[in-house]
Amino acid sequence: MPGGEVIGKQFIMDSNPRVKFGTAPLAGHMTDTFAGMFNADGSAQLKVNPEAIIKRARKIDTIVAIMQDIQKRMEDLEDEVNQESRALRNNLNADTAEGARFSELTIWDVDEILTERAKKYHNGVYTFHDPEKFQAFYQSNESNIKQLKAFQTELMHAAKKNPRAR
């Protein structure tokens, strides 16, 4: 298009609820289909209200907050498990000392049993869950949050382009 001119527009608009089958594909647009469906300034009454779109888009913030809360709780759980694992190791060290209740065992015996049961051992922490799966969840969750926020921004921007939107 030379000069960037717009040749026509397409709207999804309400139709007159009193006209039965007014926009049925086979019937075409019957008389009165859009009667009363235009504002005083001649603009169409859109089927989708921009204010309603913006209101719904803002609800994405609630969803994102829930997703962030879940991730925070999982991170806290991992920290708690790590602390408990260190405490377990310290208790077992004390219990295998000379004269303690498990003194016939060595710390190497305990280490072998814990290593057998643990999914992973790193820096004095026996992990009994799969930390890679937690990391994969965190990455996926953060990516999904970014996508939701981008979608929200696009949705609100598109709704605000409409002159009736606030």
Query: Count of alpha carbons within 13 Å of 2, Cβ hemisphere only?
Result: 0
Q: For residue 165, what pLDDT is reported?
A: 45
What's the Rg (C-alpha) of the chain?
A: 32
Taking 70 as the pLDDT cut, the residues of the chain under it are 1-6, 8-38, 44-47, 162-166
Q: For residue 162, what pLDDT is reported?
A: 61
Cα distances from 138 to residues 101, 103, 123, in angstroms, run 41, 42, 22
Q: Is the dihedral of CA 98, 101, 106, 107 positive or negative?
A: negative
Quote the Cα angle for 67-70-73, to 5°: 150
On the 0-12 / 13-18 / 19+ scale of CB atoms within 10 A, 162 is: middle
Q: For residue 76, what pLDDT is reported?
A: 96
Structure tokens at 161: 């382009």
Q: For residue 140, what pLDDT is reported?
A: 98
Q: For residue 14, what pLDDT is reported?
A: 57
Distance, CA of 16 to CA of 150 (rounded, Å): 35
Q: For residue 166, what pLDDT is reported?
A: 42
Q: For residue 50, what pLDDT is reported?
A: 82
- By the 8 A CB rule, do 72 and 78 touch? no
Q: How many CB atoms are located within 10 Å of the residue 63 CB?
A: 13
Q: For residue 26, what pLDDT is reported?
A: 46
- Residue 28's region, left for phi above 0, alpha for psi from -120 to 50, else beta, is left
pTM of the entire predicted model = 0.64
Amino acid (one-letter) located at 83: Q
